[in-house]
Amino acid sequence: MSKKALCIGINDYPGTQNDLSGCVNDATDWAAALTTRGFTVTQLIDAQATKAAMVAGIGGLVSGAAKGDTLVITYSGHGTWVPDLNGDEPDGRDEGLCPWDIGAGKVLLDDELAPLLANRAAGVRVLLISDSCHSGSVTRGDNADLDAGMPRARFLPPEVWMKAEDLPAPRAARLPAVGGLTRSGGDLLLAGCTDTQFSWDTRFKSRPNGAFTYYALKALAALPASATYQDWFKKITPAYLPTNQLPQNPQIFGTRTARAWKVFA
């Protein structure tokens, strides 16, 4: 049995004028935490994280796994959406992750992730951690570590990167959803927020990070060895998120059995 991970972090989005600041740190931090827990980790950072490279990285990770292996895929970057063309989305929109080359029209859709993750052997565990896309307002949580100043949403509107002729007709505003990822084939999804919220890119103690990644790793460091994914999730929210400055509600999706697995076992 082996443990492998792919950690993706994209700050640089050429051609969009929508660069982020904390995603590379997120990927580095996830990689460090996973390495200490016995994972062999590959990273795709900025220009390395083209759509082709993300597809190859995820596909290779999954297809190369055997029964009993545990796989973790973390993504920190922008999320977006496109019009649904095959009728499988109730809201008429496919959600997607934004590779480094999104400015050239390259987007990794949930419909493309699904077959990549489905190509796994029986008994392979897959955990997706998405600190991207998707506002609300609440006043609980813990802002003690958060630097002053407004954070930035990890959402890239279609009009930023799509050609004008490809944009859908105007309709009621909606933020990108985690819904597509929940159907993409992993056993568990940990997401930074609900499908009507943003995940925030901000700074803690003068260092850029995603809010969800920062607090998820802070909670992880304090977990006992026997902790489950559900235990971990309960330590993240509502203790740390949401807050009045970071109005995002982290989410966990997966079966009761998967939620009861030991964290990164």
Is 133 a residue of the active site?
yes
- Residue 207 contacts residue 163 (beta carbons within 8 Å): no
Catalytic residue among 7, 23, 98, 133: 133
Is 78 a residue of the active site?
yes
Q: Which residue type does 113 have?
A: L
The Cα 140–Cα 125 span in angstroms is 34
Reduced to 3 states, what is the DSSP secondary structure of residue 109? strand
Given phi > 0 = left and psi -120 to 50 = alpha, else beta, which region is 10? beta
Catalytic residue among 78, 98, 134, 193: 78
Reduced to 3 states, what is the DSSP secondary structure of residue 157? coil
How is the chain split among helix, strand and coil, in percent rounded to 5?
A: 30, 25, 45
Active site residues: 78, 133
